[in-house]
Structure 1
Amino acid sequence: MSKKEQFIAAIQKSYHTDKPVIHLGSAILDGEIIGEARVNLPLRMMNRHGLVAGATGSGKTRTLQVFAEQLSAAGVPVFMSDIKGDLSGIAQPGKTNAALEERAQILGTVFEPRGFPVELYSLSGNKGAQMRATVLEFGPILLSKIFELNETQAGVLAILFKYADDKDLPMVDLNDLKKVLNYLSEGPGAAEIKADYGTISASTAGTILRKIVALEQQGVGSIFGERSFDIEDLINKVDGQGVISLLNVSDVQDRPALFSTFMLSLLAELYQKLPEAGDLDKPKLVFFLDEAHLLFKDAPKAFLEQIEQVVRLIRSKGVGIFFCTQMAQDVPVSVLGQLGNRVQHVLRAFTPQDAEGLKQTVKTYPKSDFYSIDQVLTTLGIGQALITVLNEKGIPTEVAATHLMPPASVMGPMVQADYDRHVQQSDVYAKYRDPIDPESAYEILTKRMEEQARKETEAKEAEVQAKVEAKKEKEQTSMISDALNSPLAKQIGREVVRGVFGMLFGKKTSTRSRKSGGGLFGF
């Protein structure tokens, strides 16, 4: 048996299954694309997570598009970030041309243009339906990542959340967070938390406040609030096709920690709310995290631990996660070890650092009898990738240099008029368009502080009034005393006494005189 025949047999044995699959393309051997050597990824293995990596311009975005299209066609909803805003074309059928038809023919398929159901989302609300989450849903660990806080500052943020939880203070938006911070650092709450939580220094509080204000000034503070995004809206189907939810972050590219962390918060919420699903024939949802290196850059230990926990446990909820980045080394080893499916586009080795990264990447692949892995990784063309996935039994497949399937939809953004029309006609856009302002920590603490201020004012007024009354009474007592002790008052007093006693004595004398006089004259 020739080398080619051995190769075809090995690929077919490794990748063939009667179960539903994602058809990625056909394998390449010695520069030849072999149509019958089909490379497939079983749908039931999509919740074992994966990695799509490769240099800039190698075709990673189109690979993600192929994944999204085939998952949608199989009835699996997809969520993915649209970093450059050029994935919205998935909603529209692609246009055929000679190159696409030739590519499909080489792969043993037919190019059939089609569009897929798409929902467009935005963190700013300017590029699609507004995605929001409450401050409480984010939690202190994810917020610390967004604000780029150090360990001490992150600890203070944790105190704010603990206090709000203990005192039933809902923290919905950034105004709530600022109010709690002010209340506990400078307001009446500073003395209250001293014993149980410790004190918050003015410098630390000031730093956190500046981070909050900076986020607001960048116009993305609106992601915190109500109505909070319902993750059930990600698990929708239209006419049996899974809805592809695109988060357009082209207008917040300068805040990579923001959108990457927001997506992680959605994953955490999915893990918390979805029931256990066990092994499914196809996942409930597949998450694609583009520019994944931004998620892990300068991440604190607590943040990395949270990511690792979510990745490790969420597959039992029927959710798959694919990280998309340039180098496998961009993903921490603890996470990389849980990614069973690998799609590696071309790597460049222009610098010593690149060469070292190539060596490390080669070590992560199974040994191949048909390829020199390091050579293949540096010679792949655009739209080609080195692939190994888990077969339906969970066993890693043969490594296959693969000529990838072309997308069936438009490979680029919708024209602006179509984009705007698509957004305006969306029921999801209408659902999240108008923010809700419920009574939360800001209103509760404001009322509490106003009531305390009112009581303090009343107490001060009562104290002042008491002093006035006491002074008036003292003055009146003094005036009476002075009046009674004056010479005139004493003279009047003597005259009054003399007059009273004189009157009394006079009455008695008159009575005796009448009695006496009657006796003398015999009347």
Structure 2
Amino acid sequence: MSEEPSVFVGGGGADYGDPQRLLLGFGNRHGLIAGATGTGKTVTLQILAEGFSAAGVPVFLSDVKGDLSGLAVAGDPLGKLHTPFMTRAATIGLDLQYRAFPVTFWDLFGQQGHPIRATVAEMGPLLLARLLELTDAQEGVLNVAFRLADEEELPLLDLKDLQALLVFIGENAGAISNRYGLVAPASIGAIQRRLLVLENEGGAGFFGEPALDLADLLLTDADGLGRINMLAADRLMNSPRLYATFLLWLLSELFETLPEVGNPDKPKLVFFFDEAHLLFTDAPKALVQKVEQVARLIRSKGVGVYFITQNPADVPQNILGQLGNRVQHALRAFTAKDRQDLRLAAQTYRDNPAFSTEDAIRDVGTGEAVTSFLERKGIPGIVQRTLIRPPSSQLGPIDPSMRAQLMAASPLAGKYDTVIDRDSAYERLRAREQKAATEAARPDEATPSPAEAGPNGGTETFNRGRRYEGGGAARNGNAAPKPGGRRSDSVSETLAKSFARQFGNKSGQFVAKSGEALVRGVLGSLLRKR
């Protein structure tokens, strides 16, 4: 019987167990790469990315420290690491061949890779509230803003659209509060300030168009190798909430977009979530529950998610239990808390009678790991001590000139470079304001028609569909027309009245063109559907 397709991870040697392989058929069952700083997690990530790419599986990963770009070039047979690499390869029975892999560079800031963007509407209120660190009350106002944008047909594409909508809500808070509940000016102001902070941190460039086409993450090259999509995250890590929120948004978009595939022979995409603890730090319980649902359901779309973190305890238990493929590098036990975490980590593995799992996790050296991969029928494999294989690509970063050459030769070169600013909420609200200004400046008719005349034969000025100009006195027939025949309404009053009339007519009647309101990412749709 031929061997099942797999990714070779390591093994071999007198003091180690059998060669360890990650079966491609279980690559979408998720995984974990854990270990203390400096124990070899980055190299493990690199060799897994190589293995999936070689099998024709596209990969998405974050280059947190800036040293994974070497995947794009072959290892150096004249380099100082060649001899130790070949020695290890011989030990574990690997025929090491240096080679490069197809890499697509991405960057939210558009400097070290192709720009990557999403619209505000795609991000949705739940993730945006998480990004802006809003309170429950402020998140409620943000939900009102998104609902109002749907009902008033005000597309939210970039931050200036959302900022303009918030100003509009503040100016029409009375009518909006009557429909949706209190919209407090303090909450609007708090959201506006948080948006300003996001702009100052460079996050505004992430919102806009052209938005990311998810099909561009699923490409293979001419030789059938899966493209490795690499997000430049060294600068992005200065804004950890933006980093975590972006990756979670991307994961939810993949879930919504990709079709069900059941149990494929190999994943359609493997997604590596580095610094995974940032996703769960201070996250509300509702958000963690939604992440758990995504992790459980997205494997049916053929997507494998691999969390990378220092300690397995960084990942909630309900999510940790879904991670079937594990590479555990050394954990250091200096404190009582460290020893407790070590003990808990060891308990999540299937015991090997040949050694103590707890001792092995504590004692393995750099480049070694305790591993367990799913076997046939999805059974967790017995834990093994493993020598991790050396990479085929360059270990360490490439120089900027090489990165520029690879970006220029990319199949996506130029596709996302030019920002598109089409008609959206900002432009439509400005158009409404200009229309209101024109109406406010227009003189009233000098002589009212009989239908418009009041009970005293037209001595009052009465605007069809509006209140009397003279207030209560006008209703008694004792007020004279305004000098010059002009209305007293300001631009803002005219706009507010116009909105109040339109909003009153639309209340309770909104039906989206697609048959339902805009879907706000899988986190929003799960809240509605489940």
TM-score (norm 1): 0.83
SS at match of 1:52: strand
Shift of residue 306, structure 1, vs aligned partner: 2.2
SS at match of 2:252: helix
> What amino acid maps onto 1:89 in structure 2?
G
Aligned to 1:46: 27
Aligned to 2:292: 308
**1:25, 1:402 within 8 Å by CA — same for their partners in 2?**
yes
Aligned to 1:104: 89
Q: Given the alignment, which residue of 333, 337, 345 partners 1:349?
A: 333
1:132-171 aligned within 5 A: 132-171=117-156
CA distance in 1, matches of 2:279, 2:309: 10
Aligned to 1:491: none
CA distance in 2, matches of 1:75, 1:111: 19
**2:105, 2:230 within 8 Å by CA — same for their partners in 1?**
yes
Q: Deviations over 1:4-34 (max 9, x none)?
A: xxxxxxxxxxxx97210011111566xx246
C-alpha distance 154-460 of structure 1, shift in aligned 2 (>3 A): farther
CA distance in 1, matches of 2:34, 2:287: 22
Structure with greater helix percent: 1
Question: Are 2:400 and 1:416 aligned?
Answer: yes
**1:44, 1:279 within 8 Å by CA — same for their partners in 2?**
yes
**1:17, 1:42 within 8 Å by CA — same for their partners in 2?**
no
CA distance in 1, matches of 2:2, 2:362: 30
C-alpha distance 370-33 of structure 1, shift in aligned 2 (>3 A): closer
C-alpha distance 104-199 of structure 1, shift in aligned 2 (>3 A): same
Question: Are 2:287 and 1:287 aligned?
Answer: no
**1:296, 1:331 within 8 Å by CA — same for their partners in 2?**
yes
Aligned to 1:73: 54
CA RMSD of superposed structures (Å): 2.0
> What amino acid maps onto 1:136 in structure 2?
A
> What amino acid maps onto 1:42 in structure 2?
L
> What amino acid maps onto 1:162 in structure 2?
R
Give the share of equivalent positions with the same residue, in percent. Answer: 44
SS at match of 1:245: strand
Q: Which moved more, 1:452-461 or 1:197-206?
A: 452-461
Q: Given the alignment, which residue of 76, 84, 99 partners 1:114?
A: 99
**2:443, 2:485 within 8 Å by CA — same for their partners in 1?**
no
Aligned to 2:175: 192
Question: Are 2:220 and 1:237 aligned?
Answer: yes
**2:445, 2:485 within 8 Å by CA — same for their partners in 1?**
no
> What amino acid maps onto 2:34 in structure 1?
A
CA distance in 2, matches of 1:218, 1:27: 48
CA distance in 2, matches of 1:203, 1:41: 53
C-alpha distance 298-429 of structure 1, shift in aligned 2 (>3 A): farther
Question: Are 2:211 and 1:228 aligned?
Answer: yes
Question: Are 2:65 and 1:88 aligned?
Answer: no
SS at match of 2:272: strand
> What amino acid maps onto 2:117 in structure 1?
R
Shift of residue 428, structure 1, vs aligned partner: 1.6
Question: Are 2:109 and 1:128 aligned?
Answer: no
C-alpha distance 166-467 of structure 1, shift in aligned 2 (>3 A): closer
Shift of residue 106, structure 1, vs aligned partner: 0.3
SS at match of 1:195: helix
> What amino acid maps onto 2:192 in structure 1?
L
CA distance in 2, matches of 1:205, 1:76: 45
Q: Which moved more, 1:144-153 or 1:219-228?
A: 144-153
Question: Are 2:189 and 1:206 aligned?
Answer: yes
Shift of residue 456, structure 1, vs aligned partner: 3.0
Aligned to 2:347: 363
Shift of residue 404, structure 1, vs aligned partner: 0.7
Shift of residue 276, structure 1, vs aligned partner: 0.8
**2:116, 2:211 within 8 Å by CA — same for their partners in 1?**
yes
C-alpha distance 327-28 of structure 1, shift in aligned 2 (>3 A): farther
Q: Given the alignment, which residue of 467, 470, 492 partners 2:482?
A: 467
C-alpha distance 403-215 of structure 1, shift in aligned 2 (>3 A): same
CA distance in 2, matches of 1:165, 1:18: 54
CA distance in 2, matches of 1:101, 1:39: 18
Aligned to 2:163: 178
Aligned to 2:456: none
C-alpha distance 176-39 of structure 1, shift in aligned 2 (>3 A): same
Q: Given the alignment, which residue of 377, 380, 383 partners 2:367?
A: 383
CA distance in 2, matches of 1:299, 1:154: 14
SS at match of 2:442: helix
Q: Deviations over 1:201-241 (max 9, x none)?
A: 22211111111111111222110000000010010000110
CA distance in 1, matches of 2:2, 2:330: 28
Shift of residue 394, structure 1, vs aligned partner: 0.5
> What amino acid maps onto 2:39 in structure 1?
S
SS at match of 1:114: coil
CA distance in 2, matches of 1:461, 1:181: 36
Q: What are the ranges of 5 or more consecutive residues in structure 2 without an aligned counterpart?
A: 447-460, 462-468, 470-479, 487-530
Q: Deviations over 1:76-101 (max 9, x none)?
A: 00000110111111010001321111
Q: What are the ranges of 5 or more consecutive residues in structure 1 without an aligned counterpart?
A: 1-15, 472-523
Question: Are 2:297 and 1:297 aligned?
Answer: no
Structure ID, larger Rg: 1
**1:27, 1:400 within 8 Å by CA — same for their partners in 2?**
no
CA distance in 1, matches of 2:381, 2:484: 94
TM-score (norm 2): 0.82
Aligned to 1:493: none
Q: Deviations over 1:286-345 (max 9, x none)?
A: 000000001111111232122112111111111100000011111111211111111110
Q: Deviations over 1:113-160 (max 9, x none)?
A: 100000000010011000000001111111111111122222221111
* Number of residue pairs aligned between Structure 1 and Structure 2: 450
CA distance in 1, matches of 2:444, 2:484: 14
**1:278, 1:316 within 8 Å by CA — same for their partners in 2?**
yes
Shift of residue 469, structure 1, vs aligned partner: 5.6
Q: Deviations over 1:47-84 (max 9, x none)?
A: 00011100011110110000000110000000001101
> What amino acid maps onto 1:232 in structure 2?
A
Q: Given the alignment, which residue of 227, 234, 251 partners 1:267?
A: 251
